[in-house]
Amino acid sequence: MPFHESLTRREILTASAAGLITSAGVPWFHSMARAAAAAPARKAKACILLWMDGGPSQAHTFDPKPGGEYADIQTALPGVRVTECLPKMAALMNDLALLRGMSTSEGDHYRAKYLMHTGYTRIGGFEHPAIGCIASAEAGPKASDMPNFATIDAGFDKGNGGRLYRSVPSYLGVKHTPLAVSDPYKGLENLGSANEEFDDQLELLRQAERRFAAELPAPAVQAQQAAFDRAVRLLRSDKARAFDVDKEPEPLRSAYGSHKFGRACLMARRLVEAGVTFVEIFHRGWDDHGGAAKEIKKRTAWMDPAMATLISDLKDRGLLDSTLIVWMGEFGRSPVNGGAHHSRAWTTLLAGGGVKGGRVVGKTDDKGKSPGGTVVERPINAPDFFATICKSLGIDWEKEVLAPGERPMRLVDKSAKPLDELFS
């Protein structure tokens, strides 16, 4: 790459102002400067996935129906209503896109979690890479002190939902395994413990790890070595302070809320700001077989302000256009009281990342004794949903990657077509 192409627009203009580059010393400077000034500023793409594990009820959140257990309220977008549980999100509807036409055929918790994390139906023991790992590999920086992918555990209030899906990179490689934060109140522990003695001990351990990895180059050993090297880089990086939410002003922390979910949302914003490409926050316990109304009322008390503050905070910092926010679970709940799994018709939410706000895609029925049970306009399947996320992040959803055995694998199923109406 020519030298001037490796410079950013700001670097070129700064150097010019400082007299380091002049038309006398560099004859091609004028044309180079004009090109740099005309070029759009490049923005890193990022995604924050808000995963409601167990399956949130669409009828009690973003797709209310007549006669539902909660009243519905008008949003900022005329004609679009959500339940009274979400007043802050209702006020931000012009920044949101509701996908009310989600429709899959997988009603088993774990298999549905696999499908909605990978875009593929689980068959046998083969593992497809999760969307966070794909984003790490395809949209993340090749070298960084920060991880490209992080997960944050926002707790488990009540209920079930089966085994939690843990994102795996599969054939993309162990370096795209997510860094896990088990408690947003604790962040990454021991980050402040580095000193000269600690560095000496760390170097001895690093040498031992490398010798072990060289003598026994098994996948598990390579994974451990990759995790160790990443931990060392992060430990020594100033950017690690992004995991410390207490660095934020108290009024902003209060706006996000004291629940772990709010703390996790604030940490996610800090991580994206520090260069992390993909952050998944998961909150468990949304499998409301006894009925969704009572529990969702409690959850939205912390979910609504946290999500609304996250969107507004990113927007205020100029990061919303380059950061996609996704709210979802593995499926929805049955019509009326939400007491059963329902994958045939449910809702996800998108905001930012180039997605046009004030949009509703898909429609469910509102007739008969089971309103909202079927998609009647613009059904959205898992591959199309994944292609849409990839389009937002600038990832080629048609790309093929070689899996073990020189087997070509598409990142997203070949049938996938993004929801282009969200970008125009």
Which residue in the block uniquely carries the two structure tokens 């209920």? 159
Q: How high is the pLDDT of residue 2? A: 39
151 and 181 belong to one structural domain:
yes
What number is the average pLDDT over the span 12-31?
40
310 and 369 belong to one structural domain:
yes
12 and 159 belong to one structural domain:
no
Q: What is the per-residue pLDDT across 260-279, written as a single tens digit (0 to 9) for each?
A: 999 999 999 999 999 999 99
The residue range of the domain holding 9 is 4-38
- The per-residue pLDDT of the chain, averaged, comes to 86
Q: How high is the pLDDT of residue 14? A: 41
What number is the average pLDDT over the span 191-219?
60
In a domain, 95, yes or no: yes
In a domain, 101, yes or no: yes
CATH label of the domain that carries residue 175: 3.40.720.10
* Percent of the chain whose pLDDT exceeds 70: 79
348 and 398 belong to one structural domain:
yes
In a domain, 60, yes or no: yes
Domain count, the chain: 2
What number is the average pLDDT over the span 400-408?
86
Position 38 confidence tier, pLDDT thresholds 50, 70, 90: very low
154 and 302 belong to one structural domain:
yes
What number is the average pLDDT over the span 314-336?
97
57 and 113 belong to one structural domain:
yes
39-43, 79-83, 356-360: lowest mean pLDDT where? 39-43
Q: How high is the pLDDT of residue 10? A: 44
78 and 24 belong to one structural domain:
no
Q: How high is the pLDDT of residue 199? A: 60
pLDDT at 35 over 70: no
In a domain, 209, yes or no: no
93 and 170 belong to one structural domain:
yes
Q: What is the per-residue pLDDT across 122-148, written as a single tens digit (0 to 9) for each?
A: 988 889 999 999 999 999 998 888 999
What number is the average pLDDT over the span 296-322?
98
Q: How high is the pLDDT of residue 113? A: 98
279 and 412 belong to one structural domain:
yes
Q: How high is the pLDDT of residue 310? A: 98
373 and 414 belong to one structural domain:
yes
203-207, 245-249, 343-347: lowest mean pLDDT where? 203-207
pLDDT at 317 over 80: yes
In a domain, 206, yes or no: no
pLDDT at 208 over 90: no
370 and 285 belong to one structural domain:
yes
pLDDT at 20 over 60: no
56 and 169 belong to one structural domain:
yes
Position 11 confidence tier, pLDDT thresholds 50, 70, 90: very low
Q: How far apart are CA 325 and CA 178, in angstroms?
A: 18
In a domain, 45, yes or no: no
Q: How high is the pLDDT of residue 344? A: 97
